Chain A
Amino acid sequence: MPEALLGPLLKDKLPETVGPTFFRKLGERYLLTNDWGNHCWLEAEEFVQFMGGTLKEESELWHNLRTRGFLRNYMSFEELGGRWRQRTHFLQEGPGLHVLALTRRSRCASPYAAKPAVGFEDRKFDMTLAAARRLAKFVFDGPRSEITMELRGGDPMLNWDVATFLVRHTSSFAKSVQRNFRSAIVSPLFELDEEKIAFLAEHEVEISAPLDGPKDLHDSLRGGLEGESGWEKTVAGLKDLKKAGVPCEAYFTVTRGALGRAKEVVKAYRDAGLDSIHVRALWPVGDARKRWSEIGVSAQEYLAFYNEILDACLALEAEGTVFQERGAGLLLTKMFRGTDPGAVEHRLVYGGGLGEMAYDFDGDVYPSEEARVYSELEGDKLFRIGSVDRGFKELVGHPTVRSLAMASELGSQPLCSQCVYKPFCGVSPVYNVAAQGSLHGRNPTNDRCAIYMGMFDALFERSRDEKVKGLFEDWAKSGELESGDPTPPFLSGGLL
């Protein structure tokens, strides 16, 4: 019995050899991690020896623990400090990801809006060229040398003039001021035509599209407003883009209809010519909140589905077919490479305002895209921090950004501060507001926390198999950022 095993350890003072360590029992073994991003597996008996101070010095395990910074008397401050800096380099930088909503209009539904709130011809919800011009300059006002501009909507392709203006002028501007630049568009691809494909290919714009798996499932959530099949448009668009050499990927939002259909989902992605899937959880916001009993899933259901997806990906990889779950890739980069892959929601401090900024069609600025979409769907401007006229410095230092940082700093979160996954995880105060009504989440009943705990469990447990570990290391490496790389697009939080 574990309590019987660990109980005696409490009778004595903690030995001096035990350094800063987080632990969790997974199966019969203990997983140890620390703030420097290292991890180690211990058998139960070894764990008791470590915690009881009876571990044999100079043993293989002792060396393992020493080199990874778990033994307090043998910590190399310089090396571990360097590793911590490497993992948290974003604390010294400004926002590198800028997400611009070009319009509220769209030709298709989504789980968050069964019917778009604005009329299809209602162009007053489009970003103007004047606003776009101001934003194209504003994104360079920060100190960051690497800039990623992600265009979203609605469907940003419905405001194509502004999209092309932003891509052309921002990339030219980036060259002239010697910044590394990356541009991307998130779109259901309803408006895609040859002219647009040629532009996207010429300017190396990356594309991500929503693809909710098989046709019936996708169309039940993301059908065209005039009754046409959204799936046909999106899949055809993805194939055309692939053919033209435009880098594209798709994301999958888990809803009730997907449960038990993981293999079909992966097959649909393969059939669309994709070599990855990015699985995302549905947030209880907008129509999704109203329809939660119909389309929402619990954390347990999500994790069961996620594990099936992961197994399907691993089965394909075992056959020699490259197929990655992008969310897993991100977490694995943090777990195995000791670096930050650029996902602003998995940080020691929430990246809203500090790593990312989002701009609404009317020029209003939000700390993150999920905060902007929350405002759009719920009609609550809680997270709005002003307009670009306030200036970069003032926006980054806005009280709302500071509140988000304070509410998400993992060291001050109950349970997070001592969680074994603290070195790899992050909190989203925006999700906390959406799901629990407070910036400070209540983790024991927080589905986002349960989902990430489950995902980390799944990845760590599977990594004990040497073959899978090798594959995971490849996934981790593919998500690694080189110095000077702009933040990868499509990594900001949920609500897609």
Chain B
Amino acid sequence: MNCDIDINQQRVSFEIGDTITEEAVLSTAHVFSRRAEVWTSEEGVELEVKGDSKLDESGLKKLGAEFLEELTAQELRRRISVENRSVREYLITQALIAAANEQGQQPADSQLGNLTGDQEDEIQRLISEAESELESKAGAPSSGGQNATPNGKGEGGEGQDESLDPKAILKSWEEKENA
């Protein structure tokens, strides 16, 4: 690799051919951003080592070689990405359309809005059971002391939101924040 080295300034510079695009240089600079500042010019690239540790001549040469290796790989990656963009997008679009069609064909019985009469009855039974449990908990102090309210009723019961919701959990975020 032909390069110019400035040990005092901790810089290494080299030319890059016209087969390398600016995008590849930027990507490579991004990869090296922890290790070096990267300056570009019409002639090529200059790296300035970051941090307190000083590199000797071979260290700077090695840094330049690593940068060039990454630069070549990034240019190759860029070309693969550009050349295959239409194929990749077509394939993923088709996959998404097929998945959407599958969704559309699925029976809707997994939705809560499409329950059978028996299921609705069972849900009502469970809700009643939960409510009676809440009332019994409110009647007797439990380990979760704040679960009970002074008036002996459970917090947050439907239709009682304002008086039984001291933490305003039933209010929307905008209402709470006056947004």
Which residues of chain A have a CB within 8 Å of any CB of chain B? 1-3, 6-7, 9-11, 14, 18-23, 25, 35, 51, 72, 75, 77, 80-82, 84-85, 88-89, 91-92, 123-124, 126-131, 133-134, 136-137, 140-141, 143, 145, 158-162, 165, 169, 172-173, 176-179, 362-364, 384-387, 389-390, 414-415, 417-418, 442-445
Contacts and interface: CB of A to CB of B under 8 A. Distances in A.
Interface stretch (B5-13, B40-48, B166-174): B166-174
A379 B157 CA distance: 30
27 contacts: A9-B72, A10-B17, A14-B83, A21-B80, A77-B91, A77-B94, A80-B91, A81-B91, A81-B92, A81-B94, A82-B98, A84-B95, A88-B95, A123-B146, A126-B147, A130-B154, A134-B169, A136-B130, A141-B112, A161-B144, A161-B147, A165-B133, A178-B110, A387-B169, A387-B172, A390-B173, A444-B32
Interface in B151-179: 154-157, 164, 167, 169-174, 176
Nearest to A391: B172
Nearest to A83: B95
Contacts of A137: 127
Nearest to B167: A362
Interface in B61-116: 65, 68-69, 71-81, 83-84, 87-88, 90-92, 94-96, 98-100, 102-103, 109-112, 115
A140 B77 contact: no
Report which residue of A126, A128, A162, A444 has the largest number of chain B beta carbons within 10 angstroms of its beta carbon. A128
Interface of A, helix, strand, loop or mixed by DSSP: helix
Contact of B147 (A162, A362, A363): A162
A418 B77 contact: yes
Contacts of A25: 73
A421 B105 CA distance: 34
The 10 closest A-B pairs by CB, nearest first: A363-B169, A130-B156, A386-B173, A130-B155, A176-B122, A81-B95, A10-B19, A20-B84, A418-B77, A145-B110
A143 B110 contact: yes
A307 to B, nearest CB: 21
Contact of B143 (A18, A159, A417): A159
Contacts of B73: 2, 6, 23, 25
Interface of B: 1, 17, 19-20, 27, 30-34, 65, 68-69, 71-81, 83-84, 87-88, 90-92, 94-96, 98-100, 102-103, 109-112, 115, 119, 122-123, 126-127, 129-130, 133-134, 137, 142-147, 154-157, 164, 167, 169-174, 176
Given A35-B92, A415-B27, A128 B110 contact: no
A19 B164 contact: no
A389 B172 contact: yes
Contacts of A141: 112
Nearest to A418: B77
Contact of B75 (A10, A82, A386): A10
A257 B27 CA distance: 36
Contact of A177 (B96, B112, B137, B164): B112
A91 B103 CA distance: 11
B25 to A, nearest CB: 13
A126 B115 CA distance: 33
A387 B146 contact: no
Contact of A9 (B76, B88, B96, B154): B76
Contacts of A443: 30
Contacts of A19: 84, 87
A72 B87 contact: yes
Contact of A384 (B98, B103, B173): B173
Contact of A129 (B1, B77, B99, B147): B147
A205 to B, nearest CB: 18
Contacts of A134: 156, 169-170
B72 A6 contact: yes
Contact of B123 (A18, A129, A177, A390): A177
A414 B99 contact: no
B172 A444 contact: no
A131 B98 contact: no
B19 A11 contact: yes
A131 B17 CA distance: 65
Contacts of A91: 96, 99
Nearest to B71: A3
A345 B123 CA distance: 33
A169 B95 contact: no
Contact of B95 (A85, A173, A179): A85
Contacts of A158: 143
Contact of A124 (B68, B146, B174): B146
Contacts of B96: 91
Given A124-B146, A126-B147, A131 B77 contact: no
A418 B81 contact: yes
B171 A20 contact: no
Contact of B130 (A133, A140, A362, A386): A133
Nearest to B156: A130
A77 B103 CA distance: 20
A387 B112 contact: no
A140 B127 CA distance: 14
Contacts of A133: 130, 134, 156
A141 B111 CA distance: 8
A129 B30 contact: no
